[in-house]
């Protein structure tokens, strides 16, 4: 039996007064995440229909890679810039 991949999908709504800081921090967050072992894809894109909303789609090889990403991201500049902003995510296991 193969280990399932981990997929995260959803969005984050950035308050108007924090949009500039988040937009400035986002490229480094994306680059660092895409360089992580086990990251198959990582996309954070502006929603064309809602100001300040970013659609998020992530795919990792397995739970360990996803958990390592979560730990790294929690200790990153991205975490500081986005602290307190609610995330609206769904995490699912998908067949590899």
Number of domains in the chain: 1
- Indicate whether this model's pTM tops 0.85: yes
- Predicted confidence (pLDDT) per residue in 17-36, tens digit: 999 999 999 999 999 999 99
Average confidence score pLDDT of the chain: 97
Residue 66 lies in domain: 5-94
- Of 72, 87, 89, 90, give the one whose Cα is nearest residue 33: 72
Average pLDDT over residues 40-68: 97
pLDDT at position 92, please?
A: 98
The 8 Å CB, 24+ separation contacts for 83-86 are 85/12, 85/13, 85/14, 85/15, 85/18, 85/22, 86/12, 86/13
pLDDT at position 30, please?
A: 98
Question: Using CB atoms within 10 A of its CB, is residue 35 exposed (0-12), middle (13-18) or buried (19+)?
Answer: exposed
CATH assignment of the domain containing 73: 3.30.70.100
């Amino acid at each position: 039996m193969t280990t399932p991949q981990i997929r995260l999908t959803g969005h984050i709504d950035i308050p108007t007064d924090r949009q500039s800081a988040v937009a400035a921090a986002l490229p480094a967050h994306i680059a660092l995440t895409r360089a992580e072992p086990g990251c198959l894809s990582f996309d954070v894109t502006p929603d064309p229909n809602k100001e300040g909303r970013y659609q998020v789609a992530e795919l990792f090889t397995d739970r360990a890679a996803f958990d390592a990403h979560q730990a790294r991201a929690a200790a990153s500049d991205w975490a500081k810039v986005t602290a307190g902003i609610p995330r609206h995510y769904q995490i699912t296991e998908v067949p590899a």
